[in-house]
């Protein structure tokens, strides 16, 4: 009997539940909530669900709630105690990360404890910031050429300048160029808007990408003269058709090849290739031999109006929307865009695209649907 007692005395005590008392049914409910939730009593964290412990640390249970959440606005709110203002959420900027936005909501429970609910609003804030930035950038991009046009109109209205044929021709040429720049920008804005409106509807027409590349190559070779003759193609003819929107995939090709023409060194090749990608995907790549792009710029290249060199981009006729349009088209096609660049050697932009779906024909053969 004594041995049995000794063995019982040596048995390890059961580990406490990480978020407080295991027999409190409220805590089991908290762990089922996806958002971070804390139970606060007497100013200390009595329980914290898994999401709260992930955000704030496993050690928060038992800590002063103001220290556990580690944010001045949260500390001020919790210090204030119960009040009608508890119904209003408190914004916590930078909780857990520099660019995060959280809302803290506090509810009083019948036993005088408080339920603290944290809601992540970072994605919504980022989307709103992008919208505001987009409007500001678009306005700026339109205002710049418009101001130039108005300035030259006022100058031409002056009898001295307007009477000089050479000056008038030069000013009219500048005005024409600025108006075309505005037209390109408006066209790109409208294109981007149309693509975004269709993003939830994946295209399913079978597109012959090899044929589309050959067609684009012929057009640009004729239009762009010497630089157009620098385009070379490397096509795997055995590839299946791509599921896509022909007009949009043509826009992708034109945007990527035109970018390579602008930023590749004169006389160097622009290589357009079509090859097998991972899985069943098809890889479209456009490679230039230009100056390359520094690594810190790569993640932002597909942002609207983002430019590595603003003055050079504008001088080359860029709107700052080309790669943003490409990205949205590829996403609509349920594909992936990848940009690789080495300083001094050049840049390769690749798009992975899904193959067109197959259907069984009446004679038992597999055929692509609606090929173009």
Tokens of 28: 């089991």
Residues 39, 113 contacting (CB under 8 angstroms)? yes
Question: CA–CA separation, 184 vs 18, rounded Å?
Answer: 60
What are the CA-CA distances from residue 104 to residues 20, 69, 100 (Å)? 21, 10, 13
Nearest to 113 by CA among 57, 38, 28, 49: 38
In this predicted structure, what is the pLDDT of residue 34? Answer: 92
Nearest to 261 by CA among 195, 349, 193, 181: 349
User: What three-state secondary structure class fits 119?
Assistant: strand
Question: CA–CA separation, 326 vs 284, rounded Å?
Answer: 12
User: What three-state secondary structure class fits 26?
Assistant: helix
∠ CA 335-339-345, rounded to 5°: 150
In this predicted structure, what is the pLDDT of residue 18? Answer: 45
How many residues does this entry show for the chain? 372
User: What three-state secondary structure class fits 126?
Assistant: helix
In this predicted structure, what is the pLDDT of residue 82? Answer: 58
Per-residue pLDDT of the chain (372 residues; tens, 9 = 90+): 444 444 444 444 444 444 444 456 777 788 889 999 999 999 999 999 999 999 999 999 999 999 999 899 988 888 876 555 556 889 999 888 888 899 999 988 888 888 999 999 988 887 777 777 777 777 877 888 888 888 888 888 777 665 678 888 888 888 988 898 888 888 888 888 899 888 889 998 999 999 999 999 999 988 888 888 999 999 999 999 999 999 999 999 999 999 999 999 999 999 999 999 999 999 999 999 999 999 999 998 998 888 787 666 666 667 788 999 999 999 999 999 999 999 999 999 999 999 998 653 344 444 454 555
In this predicted structure, what is the pLDDT of residue 306? Answer: 84
β-strands 90-93, 44-48 pairing:
unpaired
Distance of CA 328 to the CA centre of its chain: 9
Domain 15-120: which CATH class? alpha beta
User: What three-state secondary structure class fits 137?
Assistant: helix
In this predicted structure, what is the pLDDT of residue 2? Answer: 42
Residue 193: how many CB atoms within 10 A of its CB? Answer: 11
Domain 122-197: which CATH class? mainly alpha
Domain boundaries, the chain: 15-120, 122-197, 202-356+368-372
Question: CA–CA separation, 122 vs 129, rounded Å?
Answer: 10
Nearest to 196 by CA among 134, 283, 150: 134
Residue 196: how many CB atoms within 10 A of its CB? Answer: 12
> 254's torsion region: left (phi>0), alpha (psi -120 to 50) or beta?
alpha
Is 0.75 topped by the overall pTM?
no
As its CATH architecture, domain 202-356+368-372 has 2-Layer Sandwich (3.30)
């Amino acid at each position: 009997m004594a041995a049995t007692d000794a063995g019982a005395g040596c048995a390890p005590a059961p580990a406490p539940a990480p978020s407080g008392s295991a027999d409190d049914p409220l805590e089991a409910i908290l762990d089922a909530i996806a958002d971070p939730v804390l139970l606060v009593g007497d100013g200390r964290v009595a329980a914290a669900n898994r999401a709260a412990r992930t955000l704030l640390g496993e050690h928060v249970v038992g800590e002063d709630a103001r220290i556990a959440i580690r944010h001045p606005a949260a500390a001020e709110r919790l210090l204030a105690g119960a009040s009608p203002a508890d119904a209003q959420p408190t914004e916590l900027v930078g909780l857990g990360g520099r660019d995060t936005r959280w809302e803290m909501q506090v509810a009083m429970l019948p036993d005088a404890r408080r339920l603290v609910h944290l809601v992540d609003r970072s994605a919504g804030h980022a989307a709103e910031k992008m919208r505001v930035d987009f409007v500001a950038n678009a306005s700026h991009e339109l205002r710049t050429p418009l101001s130039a046009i108005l300035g030259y109109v006022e100058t031409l209205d002056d009898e001295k300048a307007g009477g000089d044929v050479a000056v008038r021709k030069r000013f009219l040429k500048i005005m024409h160029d600025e108006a075309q720049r505005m037209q390109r920008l408006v066209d790109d804005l409208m294109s981007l808007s149309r693509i975004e409106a269709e993003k939830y509807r994946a295209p399913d027409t079978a597109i012959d990408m090899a044929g589309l590349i050959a067609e684009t190559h012929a057009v640009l070779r004729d239009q762009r003269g010497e630089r157009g003759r620098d385009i070379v193609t490397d096509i795997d003819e055995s590839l299946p058709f791509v599921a896509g929107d022909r007009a949009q995939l043509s826009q992708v090709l034109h945007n990527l090849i035109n970018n390579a023409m602008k930023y590749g060194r004169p006389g160097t090749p622009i290589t357009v290739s079509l090859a097998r990608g991972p899985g069943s995907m098809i890889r479209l790549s456009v490679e230039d031999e230009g100056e390359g792009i520094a690594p810190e710029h790569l993640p932002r290249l597909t942002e609207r109006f983002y430019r590595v060199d603003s003055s050079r981009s504008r001088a080359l006729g860029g709107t700052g929307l080309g790669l943003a349009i490409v990205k949205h088209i590829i996403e609509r096609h349920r594909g992936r865009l990848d940009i690789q660049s080495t300083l001094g050697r050049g840049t390769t932009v690749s798009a992975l695209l899904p193959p067109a779906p197959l259907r069984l024909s009446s004679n038992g053969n597999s055929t692509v649907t609606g090929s173009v």
